[in-house]
Amino acid sequence: MSQPQTPTPNAQPPKEDLRVGVFVCHCGLNIAGTVDIKQVTEYAKTIPDVVFVKENRYTCADPGQEEIRKAIKEQKLNRVVIAACSPRMHEPTFRRTVSEAGLNPFLYEMANIREFASWCHPNTPQEATERAKDAVRMAVAKARLMMPLQTIEVPVTNKALVIGGGIAGMNAALDLAEMGFKVYLLENTQSIGGHMAALDKTFPTLDCSICIEGPKMVDCGRHPNIQIFAYSDLVKVDGYIGNFKVKIRKNPRYVIPERCTGCGECRDVCPIEYPNDWDMNLGTRKAISVPFDQAVPLIYAIDKNYCIECFKCTDVCGARQAIDFEQKAEEVDIEVGAIIVSTGFDVYLPYDMPLLGYGKYPNVITSMEFERLILAAGPTGGKVIRQSDGKKPHSVAFIQCVGSRDKNKYPYCSNYCCMYTLKHVVQLKEKYKEDVEVYVFYMDMRTPGKGYEEFYDRARERGANFIRGRVSRIDEDPKTHNLILHSEDANLGQPIEVEAEMVVLATASIPKKGSDEIARILNLSRGADGFFMESHPKLEPMDAPTDGVFYAGACQGLKDIPFSVSQGSGAASRAATVISKPKWKIEPIISIVDETKCRNKTAKCGVCQDKCPYGAIRIEPNKAAQIITASCHGCGTCVAECPQHAITQMHFTDAQIMAQIRSALEDKPEEKILAILCNWCSYAGADLAGTSRFEYPPSVRAIRVMCSGRVDREFILEALRLGAGMVLIGACHLPYDCHYINGNYKMKARTDALKGMLTKLGMSPERFRVEYVSAAEGIHYAEVIKEIDADMKALGKEKIQAETAKLKPVLDNMLKRWKK
Amino acid sequence: MPLKTQKRDTAEALTLEWILQTKHYKLALDKNLCVGCQICSLACPKEAIKLEKQPKVQGEKAKKAKVDVDLAKCIFCGICDITCPYGAVKVTLNGDHNLIVVEKESFPELIRDIKIDTRNCPKDCVACVEACPLEQLTISKVTYDGKPVENLDALSPSQRRHVVVNVDIPKDKCPTCRACEYKCPPGVIKMRKTFEGKIAIDQAKCPEGCQDCVDVCPITGTLTVADGKVQVNESTCVYCGACKVVCPVDEALMVKRTKVLHTPVHSGTWNKTLERITSPVDTVKELKAISGKKARDMVSKRFVSEEVIK
Rounded to whole angstroms, how far apart are CA atoms B206 and B200? 12
Rounded to whole angstroms, how far apart are CA atoms B237 and B244? 13
% of chain A beyond a pLDDT of 90: 80
Question: In terms of residue numbers, what domain contains A276?
Answer: 253-327
For this complex, say whether ipTM is above 0.90: no
- Among A275, A305, A309, select the one facing B20 at the smallest CB separation: A275
Instruction: Report chain B residues whose CB lies below 8 A from the CB of A359.
Output: 2, 4
Are B138 and B76 within one domain?
Answer: no
Are A211 and A359 within one domain?
Answer: no
Please check the confidence at residue A513 and state whether its pLDDT lies above 90. yes
Please check the confidence at residue A819 and state whether its pLDDT lies above 80. no
Residues whose CB is less than 8 angstroms from the CB of residue A569 and which lie 6 or more positions away in sequence, other chains included: A171, A172, A175
B108 found inside a domain: no
pLDDT given for residue A4 in this prediction: 43
Other CB atoms closer than 10 Å to residue A779's CB: what's the count?
15
Instruction: Report chain B residues whose CB lies below 8 A from the CB of A504.
Output: none
> Is A325 in the B-facing interface, judged by CB distances under 8 Å?
no
Which residue pairs, CB below 8 angstroms and at least 24 apart, start in A537-543?
Answer: A541/A567, A541/A570, A542/A567, A542/A570, A542/A571, A542/A574, A543/A574
Which residue, B168, B191, B214, sits at the end of a domain? B191
pLDDT given for residue A13 in this prediction: 53
Nearest CA in chain A to B72: A305
DSSP per-residue codes, A252-270: --SB-TTT-----HHHHH-
Question: In terms of residue numbers, what domain contains B158?
Answer: 114-191
A181 found inside a domain: yes
CATH of the domain at A631: 3.30.70.20
Distance from B92 to chain A by nearest Cα, in Å? 13
pLDDT given for residue B302 in this prediction: 66
| Among B4, B17, B20, B21, the residue to mutate for chain A (most A Cβ within 10 A) | B21
Q: What angle do CA B79, B82, B86 make, to 5 degrees?
A: 125
CATH of the domain at B215: 3.30.70.20
Strand partners, B24: B19
Rounded to whole angstroms, how far apart are CA atoms A345 and A507? 12
A614 and A746 Cβ atoms separated by less than 8 Å: no
For residue A712, the SS3 value is: coil
Q: pLDDT digits over A607-627, tens only?
A: 998 888 777 888 888 889 988
Residues whose CB is less than 8 angstroms from the CB of residue A382 and which lie 6 or more positions away in sequence, other chains included: A373, A374, A375, A376
Are B206 and B174 within one domain?
Answer: no
Distance from B160 to chain A by nearest Cα, in Å? 52
Which of A656, A669, A626, A636 is CA-nearest to residue A746? Answer: A636
Is A312's CB within 8 Å of B105's CB?
yes
- Among B19, B20, B268, select the one facing A309 at the smallest CB separation: B268
Rounded to whole angstroms, how far apart are CA atoms B38 and A542? 61
Q: pLDDT digits over B84-120, tens only?
A: 999 999 999 999 998 999 999 999 999 999 999 888 8
Please check the confidence at residue A817 and state whether its pLDDT lies above 70. no
> Is B106 in the A-facing interface, judged by CB distances under 8 Å?
yes
Q: How far is Cα of residue B225 from the mean position of the Cα atoms in its chain?
A: 25
| Run of H or E including B6 | strand B4-9
pLDDT given for residue A153 in this prediction: 86
Are B200 and B247 within one domain?
Answer: yes
> Is B293 in the A-facing interface, judged by CB distances under 8 Å?
no
A7 found inside a domain: no
Are B15 and B45 within one domain?
Answer: yes
Please check the confidence at residue A587 and state whether its pLDDT lies above 90. no
Which residue, A471, A491, A510, sits at the end of a domain? A510
> Is B118 in the A-facing interface, judged by CB distances under 8 Å?
no
A497 and A485 Cβ atoms separated by less than 8 Å: yes
Are B187 and B200 within one domain?
Answer: no
> Is A303 in the B-facing interface, judged by CB distances under 8 Å?
no
Are B223 and B134 within one domain?
Answer: no
B291 found inside a domain: no
Rounded to whole angstroms, how far apart are CA atoms B235 and B251? 22
Rounded to whole angstroms, how far apart are CA atoms A580 and A116? 38
B38 and B245 Cβ atoms separated by less than 8 Å: yes
Strand partners, B50: B68
Other CB atoms closer than 10 Å to residue A753's CB: what's the count?
11
Please check the confidence at residue A8 and state whether its pLDDT lies above 60. no
pLDDT given for residue A616 in this prediction: 80
**Which range has the worst mean pLDDT, A311-315, A572-576, A781-785, B290-294?**
B290-294
> Is B1 in the A-facing interface, judged by CB distances under 8 Å?
yes
Is B1's CB within 8 Å of A369's CB?
yes
A347 and A510 Cβ atoms separated by less than 8 Å: yes
A341 and A164 Cβ atoms separated by less than 8 Å: yes
Q: What angle do CA A143, A635, A95 make, to 5 degrees?
A: 40
Are A494 and A538 within one domain?
Answer: no
Please check the confidence at residue A820 and state whether its pLDDT lies above 60. no
CATH of the domain at A404: 3.50.50.60
B151 found inside a domain: yes
pLDDT given for residue A383 in this prediction: 92
* Confidence grade of residue B154 (pLDDT, cut at 50, 70, 90): confident
pLDDT given for residue B306 in this prediction: 54
Which residue, B162, B191, B220, sits at the end of a domain? B191
**Which range has the worst mean pLDDT, A42-56, A97-111, B152-166, B196-210?**
B152-166
* Confidence grade of residue A132 (pLDDT, cut at 50, 70, 90): very high
A425 and A464 Cβ atoms separated by less than 8 Å: yes
Are B45 and B70 within one domain?
Answer: yes
Is B269's CB within 8 Å of A308's CB?
yes
Are A177 and A307 within one domain?
Answer: no
Please check the confidence at residue A22 and state whether its pLDDT lies above 60. yes
Are A146 and A236 within one domain?
Answer: no
Instruction: Report chain B residues whose CB lies below 8 A from the CB of A380.
Output: 21-22
Q: pLDDT digits over A84-105, tens only?
A: 999 988 999 999 999 999 999 9
Give phi and psi for B265, each to the nearest 5.
Answer: -115, 135
Are A681 and A815 within one domain?
Answer: yes
Q: What angle do CA A674, A677, A678 make, to 5 degrees?
A: 160
Instruction: Report chain B residues whose CB lies below 8 A from the CB of A272.
Output: 75, 77, 100-101
Strand partners, A592: A648
Distance from B2 to chain A by nearest Cα, in Å? 6
Q: How many domains does chain B have?
A: 3
Distance from A199 to chain B by nearest Cα, in Å? 15
* Confidence grade of residue B307 (pLDDT, cut at 50, 70, 90): low
Please check the confidence at residue A149 and state whether its pLDDT lies above 70. yes
Are A295 and A318 within one domain?
Answer: yes
Rounded to whole angstroms, how far apart are CA atoms A51 and B47? 84
| Among A265, A266, A267, A272, the residue to mutate for chain B (most B Cβ within 10 A) | A272
B95 found inside a domain: yes
% of chain A beyond a pLDDT of 70: 97
Residue A551 corresponds to which amino acid? Answer: Y
Are B165 and B206 within one domain?
Answer: no
* Confidence grade of residue A3 (pLDDT, cut at 50, 70, 90): very low
Residue A395 corresponds to which amino acid? Answer: S
Instruction: Report chain B residues whose CB lies below 8 A from the CB of A349.
Output: 1-2
Please, what is the average pLDDT of chain A? 91
B287 found inside a domain: no
DSSP per-residue codes, A359-394: TTBTTEEEHHHHHHHHSTTSTTTT----TTTSPPPS
A543 found inside a domain: yes
Rounded to whole angstroms, how far apart are CA atoms A52 and A80? 9
A312 and A269 Cβ atoms separated by less than 8 Å: yes
pLDDT given for residue A753 in this prediction: 92
> Is B4 in the A-facing interface, judged by CB distances under 8 Å?
yes
B274 found inside a domain: no
What does the CA dihedral A449, A451, A452, A453 come to, rounded to 10 degrees? 110
A546 and A740 Cβ atoms separated by less than 8 Å: no
Q: How many domains does chain A have?
A: 6
What are the Cα distances from residue A817, in Å, to A294, A645, A754, A813, A814?
Answer: 71, 10, 17, 8, 7
CATH of the domain at A289: 3.30.70
Is B106's CB within 8 Å of A310's CB?
yes
Are A313 and A337 within one domain?
Answer: no
Paired sense of beta strands A726-731 and A673-678, if any: parallel
Are A668 and A545 within one domain?
Answer: no
A803-812 b/e (C-beta count within 10 Å ≥ 16 → b): bbeebeebbe
- Among A271, A305, A387, select the one facing B106 at the smallest CB separation: A271
Average pLDDT over every residue of B43-56: 92
Q: pLDDT digits over A158-172, tens only?
A: 999 999 999 999 999
Instruction: Report chain B residues whose CB lies below 8 A from the CB of A364.
Output: none
Q: What angle do CA A585, A591, A592 make, to 5 degrees?
A: 110
Cβ–Cβ pairs < 8 A, chains A and B: 84
Is B79's CB within 8 Å of A308's CB?
yes
| Count of CA atoms in the C-beta half-sphere (13 A) of A755 | 17
* Confidence grade of residue B229 (pLDDT, cut at 50, 70, 90): confident
A613 found inside a domain: yes
Are B236 and B179 within one domain?
Answer: no
Instruction: Report chain A residues whose CB lies below 8 A from the CB of B3.
Output: 275, 281
Instruction: Report chain A residues whose CB lies below 8 A from the CB of B269.
Output: 308-310
Residues whose CB is less than 8 angstroms from the CB of residue A817 and which lie 6 or more positions away in sequence, other chains included: none
Are B17 and B37 within one domain?
Answer: yes
Which of A176, A379, A164, A399 is CA-nearest to residue A282? Answer: A379
CATH of the domain at A109: 3.40.50
* Confidence grade of residue A29 (pLDDT, cut at 50, 70, 90): very high
Are A450 and A484 within one domain?
Answer: yes
Instruction: Report chain A residues whose CB lies below 8 A from the CB of B79.
Output: 308
Give phi and psi for A540, each to the nearest 5.
Answer: -130, 60
| Among A254, A266, A269, A273, the residue to mutate for chain B (most B Cβ within 10 A) | A273
Which residue, A486, A510, A534, sits at the end of a domain? A510
pTM of the predicted model as reported, rounded to 2 decimal places? 0.77
Are A108 and A243 within one domain?
Answer: no
| Run of H or E including A342 | none
Q: pLDDT digits over A275-304, tens only?
A: 998 988 899 999 999 999 999 999 999 999
Are A547 and A609 within one domain?
Answer: no
pLDDT given for residue A27 in this prediction: 93
For residue A25, the SS3 value is: strand
The H-assigned helical ranges of chain B are 39-43, 79-83, 100-103, 127-131, 157-161, 179-183, 212-216, 242-246, 268-277, 280-309
* Confidence grade of residue A700 (pLDDT, cut at 50, 70, 90): very high
> Is B49 in the A-facing interface, judged by CB distances under 8 Å?
no
Please check the confidence at residue A411 and state whether its pLDDT lies above 50. yes
Give phi and psi for A118, each to the nearest 5.
Answer: -70, -40
Are A673 and A817 within one domain?
Answer: yes
Q: pLDDT digits over A319-346, tens only?
A: 999 999 999 999 999 999 999 999 999 9
**Which range has the worst mean pLDDT, A240-249, A461-470, A494-503, A624-633?**
A624-633
Which residue, A327, A357, A372, sits at the end of a domain? A327
Nearest CA in chain A to B266: A310
For residue A117, the SS3 value is: helix
Average pLDDT over every residue of A214-218: 95
Is A284's CB within 8 Å of B20's CB?
yes
Please check the confidence at residue B305 and state whether its pLDDT lies above 60. no
Which of A158, A147, A154, A146 is CA-nearest to residue A586? Answer: A154
A339 and A548 Cβ atoms separated by less than 8 Å: yes
* Confidence grade of residue A14 (pLDDT, cut at 50, 70, 90): low
Instruction: Report chain A residues whose CB lies below 8 A from the CB of B100.
Output: 271-273
Rounded to whole angstroms, how far apart are CA atoms A384 and A709? 58
A193 and A150 Cβ atoms separated by less than 8 Å: no
Are B99 and B9 within one domain?
Answer: yes
Instruction: Report chain A residues whose CB lies below 8 A from the CB of B45.
Output: 308-309
* Confidence grade of residue B310 (pLDDT, cut at 50, 70, 90): very low
B146 found inside a domain: yes
* Confidence grade of residue A15 (pLDDT, cut at 50, 70, 90): low
Is B1's CB within 8 Å of A390's CB?
no
User: Which residue did the predictor score with more confidence, A600 or A13?
Assistant: A600
pLDDT given for residue B161 in this prediction: 82
pLDDT given for residue A43 in this prediction: 95
Which of B181, B66, B50 is CA-nearest to residue B128? Answer: B181
Distance from A360 to chain B by nearest Cα, in Å? 9
Please check the confidence at residue B221 and state whether its pLDDT lies above 80. yes
B94 found inside a domain: yes
